[in-house]
Structure 1
Amino acid sequence: MSEALDDSGADKETVLERRRTYLLRELIEQIKYQLEGQNVECFHFGSQSEATTTPGLQSDIDFLGSYHQFNIMTIWEDWKASMDNLLMLRDDTIPPQQYLLQVIEKKTPEPVTSLINDEFVAKDTGQVLLSAEKCKQRIEYEHKVKTCGDVTKNGPSVSFFT
């Protein structure tokens, strides 16, 4: 098995080099965001960064940007002043690996009650939620304006090439 992997370009040295490369890419992306005035933490994951793919498979590059403007709360005690607070909610209408995000006030730990942002939607119960679909539409629009490139939406993810 090791011989076959070595022959396909997935030997130990290649694996280590690919991992170093993607760690460096994360750092470069993070510096780019800092220069733009954004507090974003960057992560590459999946077969490319883990070097579990071989040349010729044309694997995609999985990237996650964690924007630190949001405080994601699992309980009310997690609320933080002067931040965009979102409370994770479970609902029987969504897949078990997903959550609804209820919008919480910045100045007091109380739910937002009006649709003061284009990316908010109201649930039948009156709860104001952050709309994943509207966020994806904004990302798609911003990407098209900046790069004139196409965007692919698959489930909760948005993909594009830059």
Structure 2
Amino acid sequence: MLGKTYDSQVCSIARSLEVIGERWSLLIVRDALFGGATRYSDFQRNLGIATNILKARLDGFVEAGIMRRHKYSEQPELHEYLLTDKGRALAPALVALTEWGDRWATDGEPPILYTHSVCGAGVTEQTVCAHCGRVEDPAEIRAVVGPGMPPERTPPKA
């Protein structure tokens, strides 16, 4: 993980990075969400990640409630790592990150497409206004102070 480098930030993005911001973290979640990986050996084989880093990430996910450890063998004692609701809730963020990568970081056609398992149609992530519908222009999005902002961090009203 990144360590507590964002302590001064009052921001949910910074808090999220403390849990899933390390380079391998989203790839582990990706393989669990979309590749069916559950076992340590699955992640190791798919990612080629160093064993100490993989162990640390999986332990951190269990501690954070993103995954739960489930024993599937007594002799030898072996566990699988299953995503919780909290972990599965990362799916829209991964779809959005994939779409960004397809547009800005990949040459040629997208290497992975997401589809709806029920009907087979393509799945995309969209930014939606509760009143107007889909927001096409990111310049139309602004950040405003929310109810979780500590009063001492709230700018004075004019």
Normalising by structure 1, what TM-score? 0.22
Bigger Rg, which one: 1
Higher share of residues assigned strand: 1
Higher normalized contact order (CA 8 Å, seq sep 6+, divided by chain length): 2
Higher share of residues assigned helix: 2
